[in-house]
Amino acid sequence: MLAMNYRGPFRVRAQQKPMPEIEHPEDVIVKVERACICGSDLHIYHGLVPDTRVGTTFGHEFIGEVVEKGADVNKLKIGDRILVPFNISCGRCAFCKQGLYSNCHESNPEATAAGGIFGYSHTCGGFDGGQAEYARVPYAEVGPMVIPPDIHPDDAVLLTDVFPTGYQAAEMGGIKKGDTVVVFGAGPIGIMAARCAWFFGAARVIVIDRIEYRLEFARNFSHCEAYNFESLEDPVLFIKKTTGYFGADVCIDAVGCEAAGSALQWITGRVLMMQAGSATALHWAINSVKKGGIVSIVGVYGPTDNLVPIGNVVNKGITIRADQCSVKRLLPKLIHHIREGYIEPRQIISHHIPLKEVSDAYHIFSAKLDNCIKTVLIP
Amino acid sequence: MENTSNKYQNIPGWGVDSDPNDNPNYPIKNYNGDDHQRLDWTRPPLQPVTVEILESVEQARMPAVFGTKLPPSGVSGMLRRYAFKYDESEYGHWLNLLLADRINVVEGILHDLSHFRIPNIFAEKGMKADWKYNRKELVTKIIVATAVTTAIVFWLKKKDGKSA
């Protein structure tokens, strides 16, 4: 089968690989219909996530048709079209049973801090991902769900990560009616988090980034204010001033370890790799939020350390909330929101690209060419 | 200036999830006390271990499922095995894994060559997309790289000539 194949930082290609096999009685094999490139895929594409082995197939956002199933799979049938949450969750451990599906303890031998994730290095379990013609899906009756017939396939594939993660970013912010919410990052997750902040009753939503076309997209899709931090003298001071020198009620870090905006962070985090990436967005979030405010983190960071103003967290009494999204927990609510017409996630998709052109697809997304917002690969 | 109008209330879905009684605890979970049972839950069937799987020393037991692709091999594999002697809070774990990743890239190129495949690094880096959407910058990069290379070659030749 044809599959994306990682060859090293900034190098991927489409290549024939052996078909995946049933390795556990609760596995299914799906014929992939669509697979997105996620912003967090760029961190492994750029070589920033430890234990990313050459030959890995990325892809943790995909939908497809069940073509083979294990002996213990009873509810799913051959031919079912399913959406596959990016988390691999058993549904039986203490964490899954409490809804923390991203923290499953039965899906990742290589690290205890993270649950299993499709195609996201051996640090997240060493599973091949869905940027391929076929993929193995463990615990098929726990996480995945049959795609309702009224849900568009492009919306379905965005329900595997982007929409739920953006929603959970806002949810973790504990937004109250009338709040001012600042989202750092106008990538797909930041755009979605800004859009979802309104569901919780925000009165003002501000997005900060430096890519003009993405800021313009955020203004339209997320109905928010959007500012280029390169044209602001100091984004923290700007937030303070624009909130009456009070600070934002909620700040969301939707950037993670590749944030621009600080030479010190960039050199120590990206060039010298002395910290787990550049934490500029988190730094700004902590310093922009009000005293007693909430910082919600969905940006991905590496497993070592980062330079952040932890003293200000203490002195300002800030609450930090963070997690990988528990997709399964949110699916019923988010499908409801799509059906009600509150949101049409597929509007953020800018590119459909054949899987065989995966090298170009990654470069377009990574280098932000052709006004790329979100890329979907079609096997 | 802060927007004080209430136009935002016309945004589709505004406030639909703002019920203060629906405010979940944090981390967002339906707490049921199972945390106090520690690892004592009914486990799923266990996937047979058919290849070498490196296991965190912080794990009490092998999880029920895991990926089996790309078991550790070669020099990078030796380094990965060494890294897994350290726990997840130690630099010895992560920095050795990052180093192994870089060695693995060289192993990947050697693997390609040993299978009579010359990796097309330009294509793998998506240069075709650069040519299509970012031609001006690509051409500038090529010109600069050519100029720098030529200058270095001339300088080295001149240096060789002087020392001879």
Q: Please provide the DSSP assignment of A74-120 as one string.
A: -S--TT-EEEE-SEE--S-SHHHHTT-GGG-SSS-SS-SSS-EEBTS
Q: What is the ipTM of this complex?
A: 0.95
Nearest CA in chain B to A14: B124
B66, B93, B118, B135: best mutation site toward chain A, by most A Cβ within 10 Å?
A: B66
Using CA coordinates, name the residue in chain B closest to A50: B98
Task: Name the 3-class secondary structure at A317.
Answer: coil
Q: How far apart are CA A111 and CA A122, in angstroms?
A: 9
- What is the C-alpha to C-alpha distance for residues A26 and A38, in angstroms, rounded to an integer? 26
pLDDT at B161 over 90: no
**How many Å lie between the alpha carbon of B13 and the closest alpha carbon of chain A?**
5
Q: Strand A319-322: give its sheet, edge to edge.
A: A225-228, A204-209, A180-184, A248-253, A289-297, A319-322
Residue type, A218: A
Task: Dump the DSSP string for B139-158.
Answer: HHHHHHHHHHHHHHHHHHHH
- Sketch the domain layout of chain B as residue ranges: 44-119, 120-164
Say which CATH topology domain A162-322 has.
Answer: Rossmann fold (3.40.50)
Of A8, A88, A243, Cβ closest to residue B65: A88
- Pairwise CB contact (< 8 Å): B125 & A10: yes
Question: What does the alpha-carbon distance between residue A309 and residue A324 come to, in Å, rounded to a whole number?
Answer: 22
The pLDDT assigned to B30 comes to 87
pLDDT at A373: 98
Nearest to A195 by CA among A212, A172, A178, A220: A220
Give A105-123 pLDDT, tens digit per residue: 999 999 999 999 999 999 9
Model confidence at B164: pLDDT above 70: no
Sequence spans of domains, chain A: 2-161+325-378, 162-322
pLDDT band at residue B26 under the 50/70/90 scheme: low
Instruction: Please state the rounded mean pLDDT for residues A339-348.
Output: 98
Partner-chain contact A99 B29, CB within 8 Å: yes
pLDDT (0 to 100) of residue B160: 79
CB A298 within 8 A of CB A252: yes
3-state secondary structure B44-67: CCCCCCCCCCCCCCCCCCCCCCCC
Residue whose C-alpha is closest to residue A363's, from B71, B153, B131, B33: B131
CA distance A290 to chain B (A): 16
Topology, domain A2-161+325-378: Quinone Oxidoreductase; Chain A, domain 1 (3.90.180)
Confidence at residue A25, expressed as pLDDT on a 0 to 100 scale? 98
When pLDDT is averaged across residues B114-127 and rounded to a whole number, the result is 95
**pLDDT recorded at residue B28:** 79
pLDDT digits (tens, 9 = 90+) for A161-191: 999 999 999 999 999 999 999 999 999 999 9
| Distance of alpha carbon A61 from alpha carbon A84, whole angstroms | 7
Q: Is the pLDDT of residue A30 over 50?
A: yes
Cβ contact, residue pair A106, B43, below 8 Å: yes
Q: What pLDDT, on a 0 to 100 scale, did the predictor assign at position A359? A: 98
Interface contact flag, B16 A111, Cβ < 8 Å: no
According to the model, what pLDDT value does residue A69 have? 98
* B141 vs A359, higher pLDDT: A359
Average pLDDT over residues B111-133: 96
Task: Name the residue facing B44 among A92, A97, A112 (closest C-beta).
Answer: A92
10 Å CB burial of residue B119 (0-12, 13-18, 19+) is middle
Compute the average pLDDT of residues A311-334: 96
CA angle A99, B58, B30 (to 5 degrees): 15
Mutate to test the interface with B, among A1, A7, A221, A242 (most CBs of B within 10 A): A7
Out of B27, B91, B133, closest to residue A364 by CB: B133
Which chain A residues are closer than 8 Å to B54 by Cβ?
Answer: 109-110, 122
CA closest to A51 among chain B residues:
B97
Number of other CB atoms surrounding residue A315 within 10 Å: 10
Contacts of A51 in chain B (CB under 8 A): 80, 97, 100-101
Tell me the chain B residues in contact with residue A10 when contact means C-beta distances shorter than 8 Å. Answer: 125
**pLDDT tier, A48 (very low <50, low <70, confident <90, very high otherwise):** very high
CB < 8 Å to A321, chain B: 26-27
pLDDT in tens, A237-249: 999 999 999 999 9
For position B1, what pLDDT does the model report? 46
Instruction: Return mean pLDDT, chain B.
Output: 92
Find which of A54, A88, A177 to mutate to test the B interface (most B CBs within 10 Å of its CB): A54
Please report the pLDDT score of residue B23 as a whole number. 67
Residue A285 has a pLDDT of: 98
Residue whose structure tokens are 């486990």:
B43
pLDDT of residue B29: 83
Sequence letter at residue A171: E
With tokens 């280029």, the residue in question is A228
Query: Could A112 and B58 be called an inter-chain contact, meaning their C-beta atoms sit closer than 8 Å?
Result: yes
Cβ separation A202–B94 shorter than 8 A? no
Q: Per residue in A77-89, pLDDT tens? A: 999 999 999 999 9
CA pair distance B93, A136, nearest whole angstrom: 28
Work out the percent of chain A whose per-residue pLDDT is above 90: 98
Separation of alpha carbons A187 and A192, rounded Å: 8
Whole-number pLDDT of residue B20: 76
Residue A224 has pLDDT above 70, yes or no: yes
